[in-house]
Amino acid sequence: MAIELRLGDITKIPVEAIVNAANSGLRGGGGVDGAIHRAGGPSIMQELRAYKGCPTGSAVVTGAGLLPAKYVFHAVGPVYMGGRGGEAELLASAYRSCLRLGEELGVKSISFPSISTGAYGYPVAEAARIAVEVVKTTSIPLALFVIFDEQTLKAYSAALE
């Protein structure tokens, strides 16, 4: 099992499964979610209509549309409320849910964004530590963290060391 870090656009890196930082309504949004829906096309949203939402800490799967992947795992991370509302466990659960889906589907590669650290306000260094800790437990041969900015990449690099 290998964990790699990359600075770049998650929608352009070929893997079997791309993780989307989704909202609980599964209705699209900004950030990574918006980028995945724009790049993947309308078929992703059409598939999401079959779901009645997704609880925080969970994930659902769709096809990847026009993305260079087979699947999109739509993971719902927590909104950060100071760390007293079980946010760490919910964030870890979102990553575990994606890994479980990947293992069930037999994927060989998966890419993750930094879940909950954008609009949901999770502190990056803490989120990176949780993400790396959980992803280290997978049997999926290649896990990539595809990070959009240098500061977040530094936090993930530190968590990986």
Note the pLDDT tens digit of each residue in 69-113: 999 999 999 999 999 999 999 999 999 999 999 999 999 999 999
How many folded domains does the chain comprise? 1
Count Cβ atoms within 10 A of the Cβ of residue 40 and give its class: 0-12 exposed, 13-18 middle, 19 or more buried.
Answer: buried
What CATH number does the domain containing 150 carry?
Answer: 3.40.220.10
Note the pLDDT tens digit of each residue in 28-40: 888 899 999 999 9
pLDDT at 41 over 90: yes
pLDDT band at 144; cut points 50, 70, 90: very high
DSSP code of residue 134: H
pLDDT band at 24; cut points 50, 70, 90: very high
Count Cβ atoms within 10 A of the Cβ of residue 115 and give its class: 0-12 exposed, 13-18 middle, 19 or more buried.
Answer: buried
Strands 59-63 and 109-112: unpaired
Active site residues: 33
- The one-letter code for the residue type at 102 is G
pTM equals 0.96
* Percent over 70 (pLDDT), the chain: 100
Q: CA-CA distance, 143 to 114, in Å (whole number)?
A: 13
The whole domain housing 133 covers 2-160
